[in-house]
Amino acid sequence: MLATSTVSIMTRDTNVSAEMECRLPEYLHALPQYLHKQALNLLAKLHTSLDIEQLLKAFHQGIQVDLPELAFTVDCPDCYVPIPVNCGTKQWQFHIIIDDDYLCDLSLYSPAEIKQDLAEQLNLWLRVLAYPLRNAIHLHKMRMQVFRDGLTGVQNRIAMDQSLGREVASAQRHHTELSLLIIDIDHFKSINDRYGHSRGDIALQTTTRIMRNCLRNSDQIFRYGGEEFVILLTHTEPVGAYILAERIRQSMAEGDHLIGDIRIPITVSIGFSAMQWNDTSESLFNKADKALYTAKNTGRNQVCCLDKDNNSDESSFSELMSPLSSQA
Whether 133 and 178 share a structural domain: no
pLDDT computed for residue 322 by the predictor? 47
Residue 299 CA to residue 289 CA, distance in Å, equals: 16
Comparing CA positions, the residue from 61, 60, 16, 138 lying closest to residue 28 is: 16
Whether 86 and 197 share a structural domain: no
Whether 68 and 116 share a structural domain: yes
Whether 192 and 265 share a structural domain: yes
Q: What's the gap between Cα 258 and its chain centre?
A: 28
Whether 87 and 165 share a structural domain: no
Q: Among 99, 124, 145, identify where a domain stops.
A: 145
Nearest 5°: CA angle at 222, between 136 and 313? 140
Does residue 150 belong to any structural domain of this protein? no
Does residue 284 belong to any structural domain of this protein? yes
- Mind giving me the DSSP string for 135-161? HHHHHHHHHHHHTB-TTT-SB-HHHHH
Whole-angstrom CA distances from 136 to 52, 54, 72, 96, 143 are 6, 10, 15, 14, 11
Does residue 294 belong to any structural domain of this protein? yes
Residue 159 CA to residue 140 CA, distance in Å, equals: 13
Would you name the residues annotated as active-site residues? 227
Order the strands of the 79-80 sheet from edge to edge.
3-9, 89-98, 101-110, 71-76, 79-80
Cβ atoms of 74 and 81 within 8 Å: the answer is yes
Whether 95 and 176 share a structural domain: no
- Mind giving me the DSSP string for 186-224? TTHHHHHHHH-HHHHHHHHHHHHHHHHHHS-TT-EEEEE
Q: Among 95, 120, 145, identify where a domain stops.
A: 145
Number of domains in the chain: 2
Consecutive 10-residue averages of pLDDT for the chain (328 residues): 79 47 70 86 92 90 75 78 74 90 89 85 90 92 84 93 93 92 97 94 96 91 96 94 96 93 95 94 96 96 75 44 46
Whether 177 and 319 share a structural domain: yes
pTM (predicted TM-score)? 0.61
Q: Among 145, 170, 199, identify where a domain stops.
A: 145
Whether 196 and 127 share a structural domain: no
Does residue 225 belong to any structural domain of this protein? yes
> For the domain that residue 168 is a member of, what is the CATH number?
3.30.70.270
Whether 267 and 302 share a structural domain: yes
Does residue 106 belong to any structural domain of this protein? yes
Does residue 206 belong to any structural domain of this protein? yes
| Distant-in-sequence, close-in-space partners of 15: CB < 8 Å, separation ≥ 6 | none
Whether 214 and 313 share a structural domain: yes
Does residue 152 belong to any structural domain of this protein? no
Residue 287 CA to residue 265 CA, distance in Å, equals: 28
Does residue 151 belong to any structural domain of this protein? no
Whether 306 and 279 share a structural domain: yes
Whether 222 and 317 share a structural domain: yes
pLDDT computed for residue 309 by the predictor? 44
Domain that holds residue 190: 157-325
Strand partners, 184: 228, 269
